[in-house]
């Protein structure tokens, strides 16, 4: 272990014996279904995480969130109850404060066939959320425990947010992230790393939208001329939207769902489409909105047709600031000292790290376990990554705290004070 981590060695080495315990906790959490709309299941995970976090002796707060609004296939607003969020904090008065975040939900619904964990080999488990993000929760808590056992803990404060809605864009918990950003200096989030252990750096932003088109029903034989076909008009909208691809660098439009009509002897009076937009630069969002509005305005000039657009950009792009680059450098330095080679790669995906970055806080958002095939029934986690990833986070936390105690090395964080 190199000089940077030599003083931390006893507390890092204490994690070496934790793999079996960490694996047991990961499997236990993963086998509680916590699909984003399974509020009781999410709350069961919250209760289990709360027990795992007890040794940290932080101040706990369970927070109810407002329901999530979805435009259903009838074009009507529908509310979905969400699980609760859990906030745990310690030493909020400390001069250096860290925000840690991990989500309780998964993409696997309560009725999904993918519900249990199995071993693929001696080093690999397959199961719902083992990588995204149940393993990351366990890594985070073990790293914090290492910090709390160290002599530098008193020099750093922390706040954890376990949110229940990340997989649907954190629509209700984003306000908690923005609120936390007012009181912290740096962020650590526990999405899985790339399969090779690399960290996600620059990220695209994302917006989710629903277009609802209303026409007029009529008999397709007797009075076809009196009808106004909602499917045809919405298809025109989708086609024109799709043609925006390639018009602006780094911006992509993805029509993902369409539903409308019914009996083929009726002119369809309703049709909806859901689509996603990814953007690369902060000002791309307004360009996209302007382009979409022009298409909506053109469709709405048609007699008997009404097109409505719902949705927004829930996550802005994560652009790497100088402070964020220095944070990545520190992580790479700690990783190298631990015998880990860590690259930083851009990605088109997004997560709560986008929200925190938009609020001005440098962060690393892939400090969780090594795994892959997330969001599918092939999702896996490397068991042997549990302890090294916990050590990486513990090394980061203790180095920041030690630097703070000695008055060195954390000056790069001061740029966040201007937020």
pLDDT tens readout for residues 12-21 = 999 999 999 9
CA distance 227 to 295: 22
Task: Please report how many Cα atoms fall inside a 13 Å half-sphere around the Cα of residue 17, on the Cβ side.
Answer: 3
C-alpha dist (Å) from residue 247 to 204, 302, 348, 350: 17, 26, 18, 22
Comparing CA positions, the residue from 262, 260, 202, 201 lying closest to residue 231 is 260
pLDDT confidence tier of residue 414, bands split at 50, 70 and 90: low
Q: What is the model's pLDDT at position 161?
A: 98
Are residues 363 and 405 located together in one domain of the fold? Answer: yes
Q: Please check the confidence at residue 27 and state whether its pLDDT lies above 60.
A: yes
Are 342 and 197 contacting, i.e. CB atoms less than 8 angstroms apart? yes
Is residue 147 exposed (0-12), middle (13-18) or buried (19+ Cβ within 10 Å)?
Answer: buried
Are residues 322 and 251 located together in one domain of the fold? Answer: no
Q: What is the largest CA-CA distance in the chain?
A: 86
- Decide: helix, strand or coil at residue 310: strand
Q: What is the model's pLDDT at position 128?
A: 98
Q: What is the model's pLDDT at position 392?
A: 98
Domain boundary among 292, 315, 338: 315
Mean pLDDT, to the nearest integer, of 100-110?
98
pLDDT tens readout for residues 336-359 = 999 999 999 999 999 999 999 999
- What are residue 250's DSSP bridge partners? none
Are residues 134 and 185 located together in one domain of the fold? Answer: yes
Domain boundary among 287, 315, 343: 315
Are residues 307 and 338 located together in one domain of the fold? Answer: no
C-alpha dist (Å) from residue 375 to 119, 317, 378: 18, 22, 8
pLDDT confidence tier of residue 410, bands split at 50, 70 and 90: confident
Boundaries of domain holding 228: 205-315
Are residues 210 and 198 located together in one domain of the fold? Answer: no
Residue 158, phi then psi, degrees to nearest 5 = -145, 155
Are residues 33 and 180 located together in one domain of the fold? Answer: yes
Domain boundary among 315, 349, 366: 315
Distance of CA 70 to the CA centre of its chain: 19
Q: Please check the confidence at residue 415 and state whether its pLDDT lies above 80.
A: no
Are residues 296 and 325 located together in one domain of the fold? Answer: no
Q: Please check the confidence at residue 418 and state whether its pLDDT lies above 50.
A: no
Are residues 263 and 307 located together in one domain of the fold? Answer: yes
pLDDT confidence tier of residue 28, bands split at 50, 70 and 90: very high
Q: What is the model's pLDDT at position 417?
A: 44
pLDDT confidence tier of residue 408, bands split at 50, 70 and 90: confident
pLDDT confidence tier of residue 411, bands split at 50, 70 and 90: confident
Are residues 82 and 196 located together in one domain of the fold? Answer: yes
Q: Please check the confidence at residue 250 and state whether its pLDDT lies above 60.
A: yes
Q: What is the mean pLDDT of the chain?
A: 96
Secondary structure (H, E, C), 316-358: CCECCCHHHHHHHHHHHHHHHHCCCCCCEEEECCCCHHHHHHH
Q: How many domains does the chain have?
A: 2
Share of the chain above pLDDT 70, in %: 98
CA distance 154 to 97: 11
């Amino acid at each position: 272990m190199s000089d940077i981590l030599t003083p931390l060695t006893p507390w890092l080495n204490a994690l070496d014996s934790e793999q079996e315990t960490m694996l047991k906790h990961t499997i236990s959490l993963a086998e509680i279904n916590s699909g984003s709309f399974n509020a009781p299941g999410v709350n069961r995970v919250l209760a289990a995480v709360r027990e795992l976090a007890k040794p940290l002796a932080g101040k706990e707060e369970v927070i109810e969130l407002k329901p999530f609004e979805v435009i259903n296939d009838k074009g009507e607003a529908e509310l979905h109850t969400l699980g609760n969020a859990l906030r745990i904090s310690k030493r909020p008065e400390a001069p250096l404060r860290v925000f840690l975040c991990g989500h309780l939900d998964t993409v696997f619904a309560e009725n999904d066939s993918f519900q249990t964990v199995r071993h693929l080999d001696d080093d690999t488990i397959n199961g719902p959320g083992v990588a995204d993000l149940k393993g990351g929760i366990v890594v985070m808590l073990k790293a914090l425990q290492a910090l709390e056992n160290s002599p530098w803990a008193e020099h750093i404060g922390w706040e954890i947010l376990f949110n229940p809605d990340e997989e649907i864009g954190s629509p209700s918990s984003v306000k908690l992230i923005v609120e936390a950003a007012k009181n912290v200096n740096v962020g650590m989030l526990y999405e899985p790393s790339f399969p090779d252990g690399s960290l996600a750096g620059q990220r695209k932003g994302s917006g989710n939208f629903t277009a609802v088109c209303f026409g007029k029903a009529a008999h397709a034989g007797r009075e076809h001329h009196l009808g106004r076909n909602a499917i045809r008009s919405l298809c025109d909208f989708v086609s024109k939207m799709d043609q925006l691809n390639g018009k602006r660098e780094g911006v992509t439009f993805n029509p993902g769902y369409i539903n409308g009509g019914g009996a083929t002897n009726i002119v369809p009076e309703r049709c909806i489409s859901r689509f996603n937009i990814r953007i690369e630069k902060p000002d791309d969002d307004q360009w996209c909105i302007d382009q979409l509005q022009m298409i909506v305005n053109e469709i709405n000039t048609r007699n008997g047709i009404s097109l409505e657009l719902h949705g927004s950009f829930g996550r802005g792009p994560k652009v790497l600031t100088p402070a964020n680059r220095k944070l990545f450098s520190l992580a790479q330095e700690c990783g190298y000292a631990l015998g880990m080679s860590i690259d930083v790669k851009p990605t088109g995906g997004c997560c709560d790290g986008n929200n925190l970055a938009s609020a001005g806080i440098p962060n690393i958002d892939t400090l969780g376990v090594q795994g892959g095939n997330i969001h599918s029934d092939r999702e896996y986690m490397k068991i042997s990554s549990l302890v090294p990833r916990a050590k990486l986070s513990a090394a980061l936390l203790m180095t920041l705290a030690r630097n703070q105690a000695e008055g060195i090395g954390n000056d790069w964080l001061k740029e966040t004070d201007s937020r």
